[in-house]
Structure 1
Amino acid sequence: MLMTLTALLPIILVIAAGYAVARTGLITGEQWRGVERLAYFVLFPAVLFRTIAAVDFSKLPTFGMGAALLATLLTMAGLLLLARLPMKAIWNVDGPRFTSIFQGTLRWNAMIALAIADNVVGEQGLGMLAIAMVFMIPLLNVMSILALSHFASGTAPSAGRILKDLFTNPLILSIGVGIIVNLSGLTLPGAIDSTLEIFGRASLPIGIICVGASLDLHSLRRPGPGLSLGTFIRPLLVPLVGYLYTLAFDVTGAAQTIVIIACSVPAASNSYILARQMGGDAKLMAEIITLQTLIASATIPAALLIFG
C-alpha cells in the first residue's frame, strides 16, 4: 500500500499543480485547449507508437489481457442497461443522466493510466497498457456513441461517421501504425527513436497537468443519486469485475496489475465533450469526472492493494 501511494503521489501533485496553474490564470482557457491538443495529437500518440513498435507481444499475455478487459466492459455495460429502469423508477434517473453514469462507469483516463503504469510497473507497463488501449478505445467510443444516441436527445451519427471518427482518432492511428511497424520487424532509426523518446517524456507530465487544469470544483453540487452512482460504480465495482476476469483468463503478475489500473482510473475528460455534443447531461458528466479524480488518490491504491 505504501509503495503504491509513493508511486501515485507524484501524479497527484502534478494534477494539483495543473489545477493551481489554471486557477492563477497563468495559462488561459484557449491556451489550455492548445496544450491539450498538443498532448492529444502529438505527444500522446508518439509515446504509444514508440512503445508498440518496440514491444515484444509474444512475451506478453496480449489476448488474455484483451479478453479480460473486453469481458469487463461488456459485463458492466450489460449490468448498467439492466439497472436503467430501476434507476429511473427509484432515483428518477432520466435518459441523459443515465448516459453520464454509463460513460462515467466505462470510460477511462488513459493519460492517468499511462503515468501510473510507468510509475508502478515500469517500461514494461507501458507496453501492456498499450495492449489495453488497442482493445478498449475503439469499443468504448462505439458504446458511448450508441448509448447517447439511444438514451439522450442527441442525433445519432451515421455508421460512416462513427467509422471515420475511429479511423481518424490519433490514438487509434498511432496504435495501428505501431502494430504495423512491430509486425514488419523494422527497427526505428536512432534519430527518430530518440525524437519520439523526447516526445514521450513530455507527454505524461503535460497530459497530467491538463487533467488537473480541467477540474472544476465549483461544478460540484449537493451529491444526488446520479452523481453518487456515476462516481462510485466505477472505482468500487469495475476493478472487482476486471479482477475476476483476470482469474478466468489466467492473467497474472504485472499484466493483472495493468488490468486493475485500467479499470480503476477516473473517467476520461473527453466524456464531457461527447455528452455536450450529443445531448447528454454534460453538467453531471463534469461533476462525475471531477469527483472521481479527487477520490482516485484513495480508490486506486485500494484497488491495487486488494486486486493487484
Structure 2
Amino acid sequence: MSDLLTLTLPLFLLIALGYAAVRGGLFAAGDVRTLGSFVLYVALPALIVRAFSQRPLGDIFDANYVAAVALGGLVVFAIGWLAARALALPREGAALAAMGMVAANTGYIGYPLAALVLGPGAAVALALNLLVENLLIIPLALALAESAASQGQRWPQVLRGTAQRLLRSPLIIAIAAGTLLSLSGLQLPAAAGKAIDLLATASAPVALFAIGGMLHGSSVRGLAAPLALIVTGKLVLHPLAVALALQVFPVADPVLATAAVLLAAVPMIAIYPVLGQRFGQQRLTAAALLVSVLVSVLTVNGVLWLLGR
C-alpha cells in the first residue's frame, strides 16, 4: 500500500495545492478556470494528437476496449437515471446525476494517474475513453437534460444542437486530426512535434492544480442522498461495471484492460459544475465533484490494490 500511496499522493497533493492557492488568495477563481481552459482546449488536444500520430491506427483503436467502456458506462448511466428519479430529482437533475456516475475526469485526473501507473499506453486509453465519453455518454446526458429543460423543442432539434457543439470541441477535432495523421503516415515537422510534446507534458500537472482550485467554495449541506448515489456510482459502481464488461469484450492488451478500469475509477469530469449550472443543478454537481475527489483518495488506491492483486 505504501507503494500505491507513493504513486497517487503527488496527484492529490497537486489538487490540494490548487485548492490552497485559491483559498489563500494567490489565484482567483477566474484564474483557475483559465488554467482549466488551457488544459481542455490546448494541452489535452496536443496530447491526443501526439498519441494518435506516433502509432498506426490499427495499434491504437481496439474495438473490444471501446465496446467494454461503452457497455459499462451505459449500464451505470441507466441505473443512475432510474435511481435519481426514484429520489425525486427532476429529469434535468437525473440526467446530470447519471452523467456524473459515468463521465470520468479522464483528462485531468485519470490520465496523470494512468500515466504514472501504466506508462505511455495510458495516452491511447485516454483517447479511446474520450471518444466514448464525447460521442456517447455526454451527448446522451445533455440530450436528456435539454429535452427536459426545453419542453417546446423536439428531439431532432435537441440532438442537432448537441451534435453541433460536439463537432466544435477541440478534443473531437484533435482525435480527427490525430486519426488522419495516423492513417496517412505523415510526420509532423520537428518544431511542431516538439511544441506538441511540450504542451502534452504540461497537461497533467496543470490539470490537477486547476481542478483543486475549482473545488474551492463547494458546499455539501442538505444533499446527502443524491450525493451518496452519484459518488458511489462513480467511484465504485462504474469501475466494477467496466471490469465486468471486459469479461464480455475481453481486451488482449493487459495495459489497456487495466487502464479501462482505472480510468473508470476516477471522479467525474471537471466541467461537471459548469454543465450543472446550465440546468440549475450547480450546487449538486459542485458538491458531487468535491466529495468524489476527497473520497477517491481512498477508493482509487483500493482499485489500484485490487488491480495489482
TM-score (norm 2): 0.90
Work out the CA distance in 2 between the residues paired with 1:130 and 1:203. Answer: 14
Deviations 1:4-38 (A, max 9, x none): 33211111111111111111111212222322222
The answer to whether residue 165 in structure 2 is matched with residue 165 in structure 1 is yes
The answer to whether residue 94 in structure 2 is matched with residue 98 in structure 1 is yes
**Match in the other structure for 1:34:** 34
Shift in alpha-carbon separation, 1:57–1:117, aligned structure 2, 3 A: farther
Shift in alpha-carbon separation, 1:154–1:293, aligned structure 2, 3 A: farther
Secondary structure of the residue that 1:219 maps to in structure 2?
A: coil
**Match in the other structure for 2:113:** 116
**Match in the other structure for 1:263:** 264
Work out the CA distance in 2 between the residues paired with 1:200 and 1:154. Answer: 42
Amino acid paired to 1:107:
A
Deviations 1:197-233 (A, max 9, x none): 1111111111111010011365121552111111111
Work out the CA distance in 2 between the residues paired with 1:47 and 1:170. Answer: 12
For structure 1, the residue ranges without an aligned partner over 5 or more in a row are none
How many angstroms does 1:155 deviate by? 7.5
Q: Which moved more, 1:26-35 or 1:146-155?
A: 146-155
Q: Which moved more, 1:137-146 or 1:176-185?
A: 137-146
Secondary structure of the residue that 1:251 maps to in structure 2?
A: coil
**Match in the other structure for 2:294:** 294
1:100–1:280 contact (8 Å) kept in structure 2: no
**Match in the other structure for 1:305:** 305
Work out the CA distance in 2 between the residues paired with 1:261 and 1:196. Answer: 26
Instruction: Give the 5 Å matches for 1:45-124.
Output: 45-59=45-59, 62-88=62-88, 93-110=89-106, 111-124=108-121
Deviations 1:16-62 (A, max 9, x none): 11111111111212222322222221112111111111134434561
Work out the CA distance in 1 between the residues paired with 2:84 and 2:200. Answer: 41
Secondary structure of the residue that 1:181 maps to in structure 2?
A: helix
Cα RMSD after superposing both structures? 2.1
The answer to whether residue 179 in structure 2 is matched with residue 179 in structure 1 is yes
Shift in alpha-carbon separation, 1:185–1:72, aligned structure 2, 3 A: same
Amino acid paired to 1:192:
A
Secondary structure of the residue that 2:267 maps to in structure 1?
A: coil
Shift in alpha-carbon separation, 1:149–1:11, aligned structure 2, 3 A: same
The answer to whether residue 133 in structure 2 is matched with residue 136 in structure 1 is yes
Work out the CA distance in 2 between the residues paired with 1:211 and 1:149. Answer: 26
Q: Which moved more, 1:76-85 or 1:106-115?
A: 76-85
**Match in the other structure for 2:241:** 241
Amino acid paired to 1:179:
T
Work out the CA distance in 2 between the residues paired with 1:108 and 1:305. Answer: 20
Shift in alpha-carbon separation, 1:159–1:100, aligned structure 2, 3 A: closer
How many angstroms does 1:298 deviate by? 0.9
The aligned length equals 303
Work out the CA distance in 2 between the residues paired with 1:303 and 1:153. Answer: 40
Shift in alpha-carbon separation, 1:154–1:49, aligned structure 2, 3 A: farther
Secondary structure of the residue that 2:263 maps to in structure 1?
A: helix
Amino acid paired to 1:129:
L
How many angstroms does 1:247 deviate by? 1.7
Shift in alpha-carbon separation, 1:166–1:183, aligned structure 2, 3 A: same
Shift in alpha-carbon separation, 1:206–1:189, aligned structure 2, 3 A: same
The answer to whether residue 145 in structure 2 is matched with residue 148 in structure 1 is yes
